[in-house]
Structure 1
Amino acid sequence: MPVLALLLAVVTACDDGTGTRVERTAPSTGQSAAQPPAGPHPLFKKQVRDQVSAAHSVTEKTGSAHFVSTLVYGSAKGDIVQRDEGDQDYTTQSASAEHTFLMPAAHPASLLEDLNEDTRKSRQSLIVADGDVLHHTSSGRWLRYSSAAGSEFAKKADEMLSHSGEAAPYRTPLSDILAELSAENAPKVQPDGTRRYTEKINRQSVGQLLPDALRAAIWQENKDGPTTQAPLTVDVDAKGRVTRIEANLDGVLPVLKKNAASHLPGVRTLRAQYTLTHFGRAIPAPAPVGATVDDAEKLLVALQDMKPGTCADSKDTGMKVKQLARPVDCGKRHDLRVFGQVAIDEPADGDEEQQADSIAMDECGRKYDSMPAGWRSDTIDNGYYTQRSDLSTLGDTLKGAYTCYFLTP
């Protein structure tokens, strides 16, 4: 197997042996780091609408930054937190990150599907390099999703490839919004010289911040308005660097609670935040560690291309949506089994997704009832699932493709 030539190592942070993060500091310039600059950064002389985009450019020119991106569902039962944290190098367009998710036990498991998660607690290590995204597997190997992959594979691997961004090396929803933001309101100057911009984002931008199921819940509202918009705050420090961007999504919670399948029980607040610190310090660098890398396009197969009876491992792909998996012998560890494929070719009638999903569920149900008894004994919950791989309407005809599968112990 090839040896990983470009794993990212943060060269400015280390452990001093006590578990304490120690940062290397830049050489002294004779001026206290706490002192504000002599005057406001030149970007603040630009027209207000151009200041945030100018600050985004200044941030990139620092070379690198430590980032934390969070989506927090506030609740008296304990906050549910989706978090990405790591270091990114704007010069080499590379990044290393940890994605974590935590949902306290007091929340019902029915929430997981709406949040695009499959377990209450998870951690994932990722690397972005040259447009490729690498996922650290449980075996210690790395699985590379290449930006040069074929179009069909790339479409199914979008969940992974989308971690590589243009607005920032490691893509987050708020980094994308930041790059496109044109301020309408003059900022308020804070005591430390920070400029705080307060804007409003529309339904489309709000949807970018949410998992797929909740984005769909937002789009069920037929118009943009107060219930689908959200206030956005951007902080630019005295040196012209973006340090924080936050969206207060409390105002859209009633819509989410009404339209989401789980209705988000117990969730009282919803905040998305993206912070940047340690500018120019945490520079990822090549670190030959002897790890091996597998090519995801060669190792994984689309569920729609698997024959009935195929067993597969989908847990170590880095993906939550079960579009791709690694076929394995059914005598080895696996977490799903495909038992059928469904092709839809029906007259369109109303909501195409709802109609197609319903047809697929019924067809898979018939296949499930007639599959070999030996397969059924392998199910974890005596139930089955469908995975859509294609859906379109041609004239008055609804066409689609679905895979029928069940989970295994």
Structure 2
Amino acid sequence: MPKRIVRSAAVLATVSLPLSACSAGGQGAAPPSPSAAAAHPVFGQKTERQVFLAVRETQKAPTARFAQKLTFTGKKGSIVRTTTGGLDFAGDRGHAEVSWDLPARTSGKARTAVLGVTPAREDGETAGTYLVDRQRIRYRAASSPYWIDYAPADTSGGSGGLTDNDPLEFMRGSESPVGGTLLEALTAGKATSYRQTPAGGRAYRAELSDSALSVLFPHDLHPHVVLSGPSASRRPPVPLTVEVDARGRITRAGITVEDAFRKDGGLADFTTLTLDLSLSGYGSGAPSPAAAGRVLKAADSVRDIGEVRKGGCVDFATGQLSSRQVVTVPCSGSHDARVLGQHRIAPGADDDATRVRSRAVCGPDAWAWWARPKDGTGSEVRTTCYDVS
């Protein structure tokens, strides 16, 4: 198994995966000869174990290409997240291009749920590219001319760092170099039957415990998606389909989850969640390109907007969950905003009142972004005034 951090182990450890129970197999097609099947690293084992073993066989491949489509379906249309890229299992690195496609009628709550917000009160980025390995994560928004280089110290959850709760750190996978793909949950899949495919592979019908779903979504989406609850209220297993090639390597996997969204969340207008993953091009070459062009070190360039001095210029696309984080950039080039000044004001009776006071101190022609003291005990609110370019 590749030497990678098994971030999802705590979740998948709760999934029951019996290894010795009997199960159906081979319906609808003539099985291979007993001697050939017994020698196969995947097909020679009990049917219910074969999805798990197919993941392990997939991880033995040097490289592969992947494409995944995550779809939220509702009455007003579908939100689609498309992720494509390459996996270097041998080097434990990969790259991914991610894009969101939202219908015009998508509500503001739903847009915020999937894209986040920026200090300009606009949606977060709809597309970006990630280069991921154990030494760093490099991110470039589709609208940015530069990469941001996040070293381990920037993403370790320490002072100013990120945690697994952040969608940037979420891009590091446990079962593959790139996180968020269905590979993260397939080791918990239990095959119930299969059929032979013309090329000598197999197509499985399987089940996936809903307790494994949480590893497929960054934590900012968890408040909107129905995940597993107490064992008494846990939903039935999610139907899972998996296809493998003649060597037992995964070529496709998919799930469909009905009633997948919380009624009190930002995605309440949607009902069905589908996830479809395909893998191809095994051994076709190193899939991780270099970060061509300008690269900014996160430690030097990414900071809280409240720490940017008067006259400083910033961009909003950091790849992080926090809308307070910005990228400091030269004012001589393109930029999203210029900081006009920092002020400390007395808080209002509630957030709305504090917002009014912050806007008043910045004036009618400027934007205001405010935050209470981090320790929650201070009597002043720090307000940043800025112009949006």
The TM-score, its normalising length taken from structure 1, stands at 0.67
Q: What CA distance in whole angstroms lies between the structure 2 residues aligned with 1:214 and 1:246?
A: 19
More off after superposition, 111-120 vs 236-245: 111-120
Offset, 1:324: 1.9
Aligned to 2:139: 135
Counterpart-to-counterpart distance in 1, 2:346 and 2:68 = 40
The percentage of aligned residue pairs carrying the same residue is 20
Q: Distance in 1 between matches of 2:350 and 2:236?
A: 31
Quick check: 1:368 aligned with 2:358?
Answer: yes
Tell me what 2:16 maps to.
none
User: 2:316 aligns to what SS in structure 1?
Assistant: coil
> RMSD value over aligned CA atoms?
4.2
Letter in 1 for 2:244: V
Specify the alignment match of 2:283 in structure 1.
280
Alpha-carbon contact 1:132-1:161 (below 8 Å) kept: no
Q: Counterpart of 1:115 in 2: which secondary structure? A: helix
Kindly state the Cα deviation for residue 120 of structure 1 after the two structures are TM-superposed: 8.9
Residue 149 (structure 2) pairs with residue 161 (structure 1): no
**Per-residue deviation, 1:113:** 1.1
CA shift, 1:333, in A, is: 3.5
Matched position secondary structure for 1:52? helix
Indicate yes or no: 2:252 matched with 1:251.
no
Is the contact made by 1:85 and 1:98 (CA closer than 8 Å) also made in structure 2? yes
Query: What's the counterpart of residue 378 of structure 1?
Result: 366
SS at match of 1:87: strand
In structure 1, the gaps of 5 or more residues are: 1-35, 345-357, 393-397
Kept after mapping to 2: 8 A contact 1:189/1:195? yes
Q: Which residue of 2 aligns with 1:297?
A: 299
- Give the corresponding residue for 2:326: 325
The equivalent position to 1:223 in structure 2, one of 227, 230, 240, is: 230
In the alignment, which residue of structure 2 is the partner of 1:52? 51
Show CA shifts across 1:204-228 (max 9, x none).
4333434545412456986353658
Which residue of structure 2 aligns with residue 240 of structure 1? 248
CA contact (8 A) 1:94 1:170 kept: yes
Match of 2:336 in 1: 334
Deviations 1:356-385 (A, max 9, x none): xx9872573364255242xx4123xxxx66
Contact 1:235 1:244 in 2 (8 A): yes
Amino acid in the other structure paired with 1:164: R
* Distance change >3 Å, CA 77–CA 405, structure 1 → 2: farther
CA–CA distance in structure 2, aligned partners of residues 220 and 325 of structure 1: 31
Trace 1:60-75 onto structure 2 (pairs within 5 A): 60-75=59-74
Q: Which residue matches 1:100? A: 99
Task: Give the Cα separation in 2 of the matches to 1:250 and 1:406.
Answer: 45
8 Å Cα contact 1:323/1:389 also seen in 2: no
CA–CA separation in structure 1 for the residues paired with 2:362 and 2:318: 28
Residues 209-264 of structure 1: CA deviation (Å, up to 9, x unaligned): 345454124569863536586333333333211222222122324xx2x1213522
Post-superposition offset of 1:296: 0.9
Deviation at 1:155, TM superposition (A): 2.0
Q: CA deviation at 1:153?
A: 2.9
Per-residue deviation at 1:317? 1.9
CA shift digits 1:173-215 (9 cap, x unpaired): 5222124x152x433224433141411322x433343454541
Following superposition of structure 1 onto structure 2, how do residues 74-223 of structure 1 map, counting pairs within 5 Å?
74-75=73-74, 77-117=76-116, 119=123, 122-136=126-140, 138=143, 140-149=145-154, 151-155=158-162, 158-179=166-187, 181=188, 183=190, 185-192=191-198, 193-202=201-210, 204-210=211-217, 212=219, 214-218=221-225, 223=230
Equivalent residue, structure 2, for 1:9: none
Q: Deviations over 1:91-143 (max 9, x none)?
A: 11222221111112133333201223454983212212343111235453321
User: CA 1:288 to 1:369, structure 2 compared with 1: closer, same or farther past 3 Å?
Assistant: closer
More helix per residue: 1 or 2?
Answer: 1
1:271 equivalent in alignment to 2:274: yes
CA offset at residue 271 of structure 1? Answer: 0.6
Residue in 2 that maps onto 1:30: none
Q: How far apart, CA to CA, are the structure 2 residues paired with 1:168 and 1:359? A: 49
SS of the equivalent of 1:322 reads coil
- Tell me: CA distance 1:218–1:402, structure 2 relative to 1, closer, same or farther (3 Å): farther
Say if 1:42 and 1:359 are closer, same or farther in 2 by CA, change over 3 A: farther
What is the identity, as a one-letter code, of the residue corresponding to 1:147?
Answer: P
**Aligned partners of 1:67 and 1:105: how far apart in 2?**
28
- Report Cα offsets for 1:140-179 as digits up to 9, x if no partner: 3321111243622322794323312231111115222124
Q: CA deviation at 1:342?
A: 9.8
